[in-house]
Amino acid sequence: MQLILVRNHGAKARVISGLWLLVVGLVLGAAMSAGGYWLWQSAINYQREQMPAYSEADLENLVAQWQDELNKSQAVLQASANDAQLQLDALTARTASLQARITRLDALGEHLLAVSNIESDEFNFGADPAVGGPEAEELAEFTAPQFVDVLSSLEADLRDRQTQLELLESLIRNRDFEAATFVAGRPIESGWLSSRFGYRTDPFNGKIAWHSGIDFAGKEGSNVIAVASGIVTFADERSGYGLLVELNHGNGVVTRYAHSKELLVNVGDVIHKGQPVALMGSTGRSTGPHVHFEVLRNGKRVDPLTYIQRSASR
């Protein structure tokens, strides 16, 4: 390749060979590269001048600080995880305890139903409790955690079982109270009927007289027992009766046990059905060891035989 240069019209042209062109190109390229390198180095030096100088020790300290912060964050995270696990374990144990309590309550309820011979769908401990109510406004954006739902359900079951057991207990207690205060049976453990209620020949003067109770003869010192549960309203000596015990059974019913050798109760005592209240004797107007048994209904003496022959189980 050649380059021809012409200065003026008519002047002689000058021819430049390709070698010269190559030399000139290399010189220009070198100059441009040197200028670019100088600009790049100047920029680096400027950045170094603007940045603070860190020694190797400073950099090691900075890394150590970052590592320490990271360790602290990991420790806090681990502590939070451990605390959450402990709470979860506690909730799991609490849930198991509540479930066990419900199981025991159900078993107790079924046992009470069995021994009380109560047949009622109201006390079905094997079925879920019946619930209901008007539709309430729901919180669409709120979802309770699962364990909260479980605990709430268990607590509701416990309240329901408790209510059922309280009702059942009340029913059984009332029924037992009625059975306990139900006057029935004989006031002695052993002996025989020696005189009935009504008119009879008086054993002392031979005249016809009214006998207001029933006499049971037996062995002196044998037990005289209450025919029903009640409260002692009299326990002392009374003319004609000798040593007398009087029990109030409620509903206007009172029983009397007379001619005792010894009294075993005091006024105000709560007496259970079948409990000894005195020892058979012959105090007062009596011809021998026996118990004079009376039943009063609303203050009026009635034939005790009606109560003696009643079934204790009704």
Q: Which of 170, 184, 151, 165 is nearest to 273 (CA)?
A: 184
Q: Domain map of the chain by residue range?
A: 2-48, 69-126+145-180, 192-308
Q: What distance in Å separates the CA atoms of residue 278 and residue 260, rounded to the nearest whole number?
A: 6
pLDDT higher at 215 or 51: 215
CA count, 13 A, side-chain hemisphere, 168: 26
Q: What is the per-residue pLDDT across 219-270, written as a single tens digit (0 to 9) for each?
A: 999 999 999 888 999 999 999 999 999 999 888 899 999 999 999 999 999 8
Q: What is the per-residue pLDDT across 159-212, written as a single tens digit (0 to 9) for each?
A: 766 666 666 566 566 566 566 667 888 999 988 998 899 888 888 888 888 999
Does residue 59 surpass a pLDDT of 90?
Answer: no
> Which band of pLDDT confidence, cut at 50, 70 and 90, is reported for residue 17?
low
End-to-end, the C-alpha distance of the chain in Å comes to 141
Q: Quick one: CATH architecture of 192-308?
A: Distorted Sandwich (2.70)
State residue 313's pLDDT score: 46
Per-residue pLDDT, averaged over 143-155, amounts to: 63
pTM higher than 0.75 for the full model? no
Does residue 2 surpass a pLDDT of 70?
Answer: no
| CB burial of residue 295 (10 Å; 0-12, 13-18, 19+) | buried
